[in-house]
Amino acid sequence: MRVWIFGQRTAKEILRDPLSLGFGLGFPIILLLLMTMIQRNIPVSLFELAQLTPGITTFGLSFLCLFSATLVAKDRSGSLIARLRATPMTGSDFFLGYLLPLLPIAIGQMAISYAVALLLGLAWTPRILAAIAVQLPMAVCFLSLGLLCGCLLTERQATSICGALLTNLSAWLSGAWFDLKLVGGAFERVAFLLPFANATEAGRMVLSGETTGLAKPLLIICLYGLAAFLAAALAARRLEHLP
Amino acid sequence: MEGIEIRGLTKRYKDVTAVDNLNLTVPEGACLALLGVNGAGKTTAIRMLSCLTRPTSGDAYLLGHSIVGDPRGVKSVLAVSPQETAVAPNLTVSENLKLIARICGSSRQEAARQTEETIASFGLEPVRGKRAGKLSGGWQRRLSIAMALIQRPKILFLDEPTLGLDVLARRELWTVIRALRGSVTILLTTHYLEEAVALCDSIAILNHGRLKALGTEEELLARTGAHDFETAFTMLAAEEETA
């Protein structure tokens, strides 16, 4: 019950923050619009919506990582956590109370990106729902990384790592706006060892219905998601236990 | 059973001893003021008693619950109003109060009733629908203390509760604290000596983490031979440095 009550507070803190909403929802939409406009004005097929949208959803999730990290780090730096620590809140109440309300927000963010893609000309297929579902482990991964950073770092450090480093990694290594195979070599190999490109690839495969090679990227993002989840759960114990 | 029983409580940070072998007993339902100049160890003592900082040695019992061995038991009887304002900035005044009431185990209906009562007793009606982060410092402070009291705690720690409050708000809070005496064990830190004298049954003076004096206003005046409490406090608080 405390998870639910604290989770409602987490959701309100995020949804009532115009900056979070602006970046979390607005930025992926702007990117979709921009890339689609570019596509309409170039002769080659570079930013087709079926290829672009799963990449944008992967990239968009990195913003939620930033918001979860900032929220937790900000709570830790203020006195609210001190007050809550003196209540029956446990480490798992804190962890799930931060994580669970952000999952529907992540799903909503992906759904809005697909809705905009539909308006821009993406053909409707029920596979869109499956494409969102297949990227859920990536949402867990990003949100857990955010919680991990928020639990261990100061607000400034968390903002730098999740805001600058992770969003950049996600932008360059997700294959959202260029084909990683075109770069090839070590860059491509590294990209596919990390979860970002695999999340985009899994989304694209499901969306196209070509799911023959889905197991590998799905397994990779699930493993990263699980590792980040466990690390964040461990770090969240700091929210309850004494330094 | 004593309300608070402190036995040899000590906190060391590297080569600094913030609290040094503190021994103190507060009868159930009594109010004790913990006084001292800045850095005397008041806040560290409160943090240890609130299970927010682990003691280096010693222990304390809150209604029989050990802060070392039974922190969850301690948290079930305790509420803390930290020195800094501790509110959720994007929640309204009413939502902040409900959040704490619900986390501490009240049902939805109970929490709604407790919220209404607390809003009335703290004069929060004019700002009940406003977000806490948008309130002035004085209103935030008032809300922060109201959040500690909505829990209906058996033991209450008030760390500089009237800091930043205007005269009227301070007097209103005094009325609330006086009403709690007898039913709630209160530990209060303050820099306002008249507040300690007006509200508390006994006064403890800390200096360099050590208990320098403990007694009623009359006892401390008799001990120092001073004619007013400020002089008595100055003599006791400076005693160690001149010794």
Partners of A34 in the β-ladder: none
How confident is the model at residue A88, as a pLDDT? Answer: 86
Query: Rounded to 5 degrees, what angle do the CA atoms B32, B215, B182 make?
Result: 40
Q: Which two structure tokens, joined as six digits, stand for B10?
A: 């000590």
Q: B158: nearest CA in chain A?
A: A83
Average pLDDT over residues B137-156: 89
- Measure CB to CB from residue A13 to each of B83, B88, B144 and give the nearest one: B88
Quote the domain boundaries for residue A138: 2-240
ipTM, two decimals, is 0.81
Residue B81's beta-bridge partner residues?
B158
Mean pLDDT of B91-97: 97
| More reliable by pLDDT, B177 or B111 | B111
What's the confidence (pLDDT) of residue B243?
Answer: 42
Confidence at B170, pLDDT banded by 50, 70, 90: confident
List, for residues B42-93, the tens digit of each pLDDT value: 989 999 999 988 999 999 999 999 999 999 899 989 998 888 888 999 999 9
pLDDT tens-digit map of A84-103 = 888 888 889 999 999 999 99
Question: What's the pLDDT at B52?
Answer: 86
Q: Partners of B33 in the beta sheet?
A: B188, B203
pLDDT, position B18: 94
- Say what the pLDDT of residue B84 is: 82
Binary contact (A82, B86; C-beta < 8 A): yes
Candidate from A12, A80, A88 with C-beta closest to B76: A88
- To test the contact with chain B by mutation, choose from A2, A74, A80, A89 the residue with the greatest count of B C-beta atoms within 10 A, namely A80
Question: Which pTM value belongs to this model?
Answer: 0.83
pLDDT of residue A243: 56
pLDDT along chain A (243 residues), means of 10: 93 86 83 88 82 93 90 87 86 93 93 94 94 96 95 90 86 86 89 94 94 94 96 88 58
pLDDT band at B242 (very low <50, low <70, confident <90, very high): very low
Q: What is the mean pLDDT of residues B115-144?
A: 91
Q: What is the pLDDT of residue A86?
A: 84
Residue in B closest to A91 by C-alpha: B72
Residue B240 confidence (pLDDT): 56
For residue A197, which of A162, A173, A227 has the smallest C-alpha distance? A173
SS (H, E, C) chain A: CHHHHHHHHHHHHHHCCHHHHHHHHHHHHHHHHHHHHHHHCCCCCCCCHHHHHHHHHHHHHHHHHHHHHHHHHHHHHCCHHHHHHCCCCCHHHHHHHHHCCHHHHHHHHHHHHHHHHHHHCCCCCCHHHHHHHHCHHHHHHHHHHHHHHHHHCCHHHHHHHHHHHHHHHHHHHCCCCCCHHHHCHHHHHHHHHCHHHHHHHHHHHHHHCCCCCCHHHHHHHHHHHHHHHHHHHHHHHHHHCCC
Are A82 and B103 inside 8 Å of each other by CB?
Answer: no
Nearest to A16 among B78, B90, B105 (CB): B90
Q: Which two tokens stand for residue B197?
A: 């004298």
pLDDT for A241: 64
**Chain A interface includes B76 (CB < 8 A):** yes
- Tell me, yes or no, if B51 comes closer than 8 A to chain A by beta carbon: yes
CA distance B129 to chain A (A): 14
Domains in chain A, number: 1
* pLDDT the model gives residue B91: 95
pLDDT confidence of residue A131: 96
From chain B, pick out residues whose CB is under 8 angstroms from the CB of A9: 88, 91, 95, 99
Give me the pLDDT at residue B181, please.
85
Helix (H, G, I), strand (E, B) or coil at B81: strand
CB contact under 8 A, A86 and B86: no
Residue B238 has pLDDT above 80, yes or no: no
